[in-house]
Amino acid sequence: MTRTGKSPRLSQHMAEPFVEIHPADATHHGIGDADIVRVSSPRGDVLVRALVTARQRQGSVFAPMHWTDQFSAKGRLDTLTAPLTDPVSGQPALKHVGARIEKFAARAFGFAVVRRKPVAVAADYWAVAKCKGGWRVELAFADDDIDWAGFAGSLFDVPVADTLAYHDRDTGQHRIAAFDDQHLAGALFIASGPVAVSRGWAAQQLQEVHTSQRERFRIVAGRAGADRPDAGATVCSCFSVGVNQIAAAVAAGCTTVEAIGGALKAGTNCGSCRSEIRAVIQANRVQAAE
């Protein structure tokens, strides 16, 4: 998240408020990767996505402070901390606080891409981030007894000419895509667990022309065609390089950050993604060895 939230490229990286938690702490609290969690202090609480990672020191958690009420339902970290300042320097003590973490009992999770920024989102957890051609929306609900077609209509908020939908009430899967002429007005994906749809691919559909029913059904299926490989979650924002592209380069023999930079440019500008590239290389080399 940037100060204005207006940069699609920078919003691709982590497009929602999150908390990093060590795997041992996550297991202890019954929290899985990508669950929604409540972090609370005596002053307030926030709802954020859990990112389970050994990067985080055991016994403490980390969450970025940049989310506001404009872009998330309950992601403001300042609601947890006290307005104290150091008596000598005047430095605010806003960056650390004792906190409790627990899993939010979500019965439904959602992800959507929409052309217009939603005015109001009727979900317990939501976060919106700018993408090229519109907005991406992360969602979670404490209740799953919801009229999903009605919810999609309120989220898309544009007149639509054609709607395709898939509903499987037994598994809690619902997918709705609405088109206005040849363009996607919005697509909503609902599941009983964290939604496994490629965010980059789904957001890209807002910029494309969808003339055939076959292309439109691909959106409802939530999958890119075999001829359109998914770049995966963005690792290098400077060059828009995704985790799947880096993994493919590792499989092709690029086993250092420098080699990845030579092949994909990733990591060769500001350098802030280099440690993440190193982690992707390491994970894929271990996987290959196993």
* Pair of tokens at residue 176: 């709705």
137 vs 266 by CB, closer to ligand FES: 266
Please, which residue, 114 or 241, has the CB nearer to ligand FES? 241
Output the smallest distance, CB 181 to ligand FES, in A. 36
Residue 48 beta carbon to ligand FES: minimum distance, rounded to whole angstroms: 23
Helix (H) or strand (E) holding 75, with range, is none
In the complex with ligand FES, the residue whose CB is nearer, 31 or 264, is 264
Of 8 and 153, CB closest to ligand FES: 8
CA angle 84, 87, 89 (to 5 degrees): 100
Minimum distance between the CB of residue 237 and ligand FES, rounded to whole angstroms? 4
Q: HEC string of 77-100?
A: HHHCCCCCECCCCCCECCCCCCCE
Q: Which residues bind ligand FES (CB under 6 A)?
A: 236-238, 266-273
Q: Which is nearer to ligand FES, 194 or 200 (CB)?
A: 200
Task: Write the DSSP assignment of 8-52 as a string of letters.
Answer: HHHHTSS-S-EEEE-HHHHHHTT--TT-EEEEEETTEEEEEEEEE
Of 154, 195, 158, the closest CA to residue 174 belongs to: 195
**Smallest distance, Å, CB 13 to ligand FES?**
8
Structure tokens at 4: 């204005």
The pair of three-digit structure tokens given for residue 41, joined into one six-digit string: 């202090």
Amino acid letter for position 65: M
Q: How far is the CB of 18 from ligand FES (least distance, A)?
A: 18
